[in-house]
């Protein structure tokens, strides 16, 4: 079996490609898998810089997350739903859920 077929894509990511009212993604599995790989790699790559920013700037975890989200939205790499997913994944990887609490970018 080819390697790309072995990637387990979380439902939370697949849901980004399911339009409201639909039951199936509007993109191919290959496209979704490629975007997932990019977003997961991005979240993983942002963990060390996020920790460093927390210590260097002496700001709260929520502030780090908000700044990271703003940076993702400003760039051309990911779209809005993917930026939200990357930030959620970053919070999960850093185990900052308790400190960040309910703050998460809305779906708007």
Residue 69 lies in a domain: yes
The residue segments making up the domain with residue 75 are 3-100
pLDDT band at 51 (very low <50, low <70, confident <90, very high): very high
Residue 10 lies in a domain: yes
pLDDT for the residue numbered 98: 76
Residue 108 lies in a domain: no
- Two structure tokens written together for 10: 């979380």
* Residue 36 near residue 82 (C-beta atoms within 8 A): no
State the total domains in the chain. Answer: 1
Residue 7 lies in a domain: yes
What b-and-e string marks burial along 59-84, b requiring 16 or more CB atoms within 10 Å of the CB?
eebeebbbebbeebeeeeebeebbbb
pLDDT band at 97 (very low <50, low <70, confident <90, very high): confident
pLDDT for the residue numbered 57: 92
Q: How far is CA 33 from CA 14, 17, 55, 62, 89, in A?
A: 9, 11, 34, 29, 16
Residue 28 lies in a domain: yes
Is it the case that residue 64 has pLDDT exceeding 50? yes
- Give the mean model confidence (pLDDT) for residues 61-83: 94
Report the chain's mean pLDDT, rounded to a whole number: 89
């Amino acid at each position: 079996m080819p390697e790309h077929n072995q990637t387990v894509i979380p439902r939370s990511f697949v849901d980004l490609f399911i339009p409201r009212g639909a039951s199936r993604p509007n993109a191919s599995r290959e496209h979704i898998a490629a975007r997932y790989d990019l977003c997961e790699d991005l979240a993983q790559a942002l963990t060390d810089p996020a920790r460093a920013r927390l210590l260097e700037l002496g700001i709260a975890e929520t502030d780090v997350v908000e700044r990271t989200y703003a940076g993702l939205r400003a760039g051309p790499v990911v779209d809005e739903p993917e930026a939200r997913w990357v930030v959620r994944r970053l919070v999960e990887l850093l185990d900052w859920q308790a400190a960040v609490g309910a703050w998460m970018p809305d779906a708007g």
